[in-house]
Amino acid sequence: MAQPPLLSLRDIYLTFGSTPLLTGASLSISAGERLCLVGRNGSGKSTLLKIAAGLLEQDDGERFFQPGTTVRYLPQEPDLSDYATIRDYVEAGLEGADDSYRVPYLLDALGLTGDEDTAILSGGEARRAALARTLAPEPDILMLDEPTNHLDLPAIEWLEGEIKQLRSAVVLISHDRRFLENLTRRTIWMDRGIARELDKGFAHFEDWRDEFLEQEELEQHKLGRQIAREQHWIVHGVSGRRKRNVRRVKELAGLRAQKKDFRAVQGGVNITVAEGKSSGKSVMRMENVSKSFDRPIVSDLTLKINRGDRLGIIGPNGGGKTTLLKLIMGELEPDSGWIKLGVNLEPLILDQKRESLDPDWTLAEALTDGSGDKVEVDGQSKHVIGYMKDFLFLPEQARTPLHALSGGERGRLQLARGLRKPSNLLVLDEPTNDLDLETLDLLQEMIADYKGTVLVVSHDRDFLDRVTTSVLALEPDSQGNWVEYPGGYTDMVNQRGTGVQARKTASAQKKSDKSQKSQKRDKAQGSKSKMTYKDKHALETLPDIMAKLQADITAIETQLSAPDFFTRDPDGFNAAVEKMGKAQEILAGHEERWMELEILREEMGS
């Protein structure tokens, strides 16, 4: 006989203002279960979890809680204000028979000492402290709302291992696909106020969801056809000397009510990006770059980024990812080595801290920069309400202050603001934070279709696998050694044998490669102690030549974009394609030559 659940919710209803959020949702949690709550931002996942944890009262429905069951809940925004140190906060979460031995272990594993002053914590430190407090008692039921936010890859993989060996039942809310795939065995989909259940882990969820929505759409289509047939009969049918069948009239009214009450799935985010003119083939080159502060951050790094590359940058928090990004973007000078940016770069940087957002702005002001009711997107004027809808904001939210938005809404707003501007270099710093799975899907599609270059700093393994062509990883205990691996995060793991823990052989091999490159460069430079007249002339004239070539390429692209060009003149079309290819090849060669000469000029002090 099956054991009764430790906790269950039945027919839960909850309305905020005039908007129903939960309309008959149910949930059960049994001993040792591993389940996740998934759904769009605003679908009620966190609300249902709070009701299950006893932190929020439902309007209607039943909550059953087996006596003696212990529950711990991880909030998204923990409050530590009543405690002097992190250790005080964590230990205050222990009760009765709870053993305190886990507290120092958890603090150390999460990179905390316990002596940190709670008045000056970063968001990440507060989040890790809350995680330690939640895990320490080893409760019967563990409820975790976005536990991977603010965690780096080593901490995420440690947390996975920790949860796997717990005896507690675990309920997860997370946007991290890989995290959910590795830990869950049952999936609850929050969809239009209802909790729909799949008796399998998250790895099977998306196929099941898509099949469900396809079947639902088919049934709605059949219902529409049935209503049309019944309406035709009511108007044109004759029964018993034109006496209408009362039963069928009532059935038609019921069908109409069913059609009217149906809540369709909310439309998806319409992510489009304003693309700028094409950059040069070489976006950035660095040779033997080193940078130190109190310790080595980057040591002897050689890296080349070409147009169209998708480079992921991974490493632990505090490992130097932001410093490296600033070096790549030319915002920071290296201690040694050289860095050169390519030509025609139009960078767009979306930062994880969202520092560009004034909390007192309204949503409409943030999108229009406070100027009227129009948004400029790729040179086109669009009404702010229409642009809001593209990113799943309701018209009535136009006057909502930004500080009242949820984390997911602020994430979508940051995307909406940034993607208005033309760019050919997209820099994404933790872009997956707070975004729901559907928005993540569309962001991935946008990156795949983006014609420029993409740099991604992320701790999301699945996202890295889906969008990157190579990853630049910090080698552990390597004193600032970074190694580039072709492919995504999983490819990196396969190449070096472990996840976030690197083998020294990989680092040693990279050093050997760098040494060879350095020797070649020194040899090449040794043969040229100064710039010749020819070099100086080329340095002065190449920019004009490159600009003329770029103009020719743009003109050919405009010619090729004519919809009837190929059918009207196939030979001319093919000749134009060939001409553009040659021009692009010549331009790439000139760009490479110009960059080499510019580097030489700086080194020679010419």
DSSP string, 539-592: HHHHHHHHHHHHHHHHHHHHHHT-TTHHHH-HHHHHHHHHHHHHHHHHHHHHHH
pLDDT for the residue 111: 86
Amino acid at 365: E
Neighbouring CB atoms inside 10 A of 436's CB total: 20
| Phi and psi at residue 473, to the nearest 5° | -115, 140
The sheet with strand 19-29 has its strands ordered as 19-29, 7-16, 60-65
d(CA 489, CA 10): 41
Strand order in the sheet with 186-191: 71-74, 141-145, 169-173, 34-38, 186-191, 194-198
**Under 8 Å between Cβ of 502 and 473:** yes
| Tokens encoding 68 | 């003696």
Measured between alpha carbons, how far is 112 from 46 in angstroms, rounded to an integer? 27
DSSP β-ladder status, 482-486 and 470-474: antiparallel
What is the model's pLDDT at position 315? 85
Query: Class assignment of domain 533-604?
Result: mainly alpha
Instruction: Please count the residues of the chain.
Output: 606
**What is the distance of C-alpha 504 from the center of its chain?**
31
Q: What is the pLDDT of residues 495-517, one digit of tens each?
A: 887 665 533 333 334 434 444 44
| Consecutive H or E run containing 252 | helix 246-261
Q: What is the pLDDT of residue 260?
A: 59
Query: Is the backbone of residue 344 left (phi > 0), alpha (psi -120 to 50) or beta?
Result: left
Residue type, 357: L
- Asked if 176 and 489 count as a contact pair (C-beta separation under 8 A), the reply is no
Q: Do domains 7-207 and 282-346+422-526 have the same CATH topology?
A: yes
Structure tokens at 450: 């983006």
pTM of the model: 0.71
| CA 119 – CA 139 distance, rounded (Å) | 28
Q: Give pLDDT, residue 273.
A: 61
Q: What is the rounded CA–CA span in Å between residue 68 and residue 162?
A: 24
Residues forming a β-bridge with 350 = 428
Q: What pLDDT, on a 0 to 100 scale, did the predictor assign at position 252?
A: 58
pLDDT of residue 547: 81
Residues paired with 16 in a beta bridge? 19
How many CA atoms lie less than 13 Å away from 138 in the CB half-sphere? 13
Cite the DSSP H helix spans in 295-391.
321-328, 363-368, 384-390
The span from the CA of 475 to the CA of 464, in Å, is 18
Question: CA 198, CA 188: separation in Å to the nearest integer?
Answer: 6
Q: How far is CA 92 from CA 73, 108, 145, 586, in A?
A: 14, 18, 20, 68
pLDDT of residue 509: 40
Q: What is the pLDDT of residue 530?
A: 62
Q: Is 71 exposed, middle or buried (0-12, 13-18, 19+ CB in 10 A)?
A: buried
Strand partners, 212: none
Q: Which two tokens stand for residue 344?
A: 């025609």
| Domain residue ranges in the chain | 7-207, 211-261, 282-346+422-526, 356-421, 533-604
Instruction: Check the CA dihedral 405-408-414-419 and report its sign.
Output: negative
Measured CA to CA, the distance from residue 5 to residue 21 in angstroms comes to 25
Query: Which stretch of DSSP H or E encloses residue 484?
Result: strand 482-486
d(CA 478, CA 313): 16
- Written as one letter, the residue type at 251 is E
Q: Are 179 and 437 in contact (CB under 8 A)?
A: no
Per-residue pLDDT at 523: 43
Q: How does DSSP classify residue 392?
A: T
Task: Please give the average pLDDT of every successive group of 10 residues along the chain, which has 606 residues.
Answer: 82 84 93 93 88 94 93 91 94 83 90 91 86 93 92 89 94 94 95 91 92 84 72 60 56 63 55 66 91 88 92 86 88 91 85 66 86 79 85 83 77 80 86 78 83 91 92 83 91 78 38 43 47 74 82 81 78 79 77 75 62
Superfamily of domain 282-346+422-526: P-loop containing nucleotide triphosphate hydrolases (3.40.50.300)
| CA distances to 164, 275, 576 from 374, in Å | 51, 20, 39
313 phi/psi in degrees, rounded to 5: -115, 120
DSSP annotation of 304 = E
Residue 311: closest CA among 505, 489, 493: 489
CATH class of 7-207: alpha beta
C-alpha torsion sign, points 459, 460, 462, 465: negative
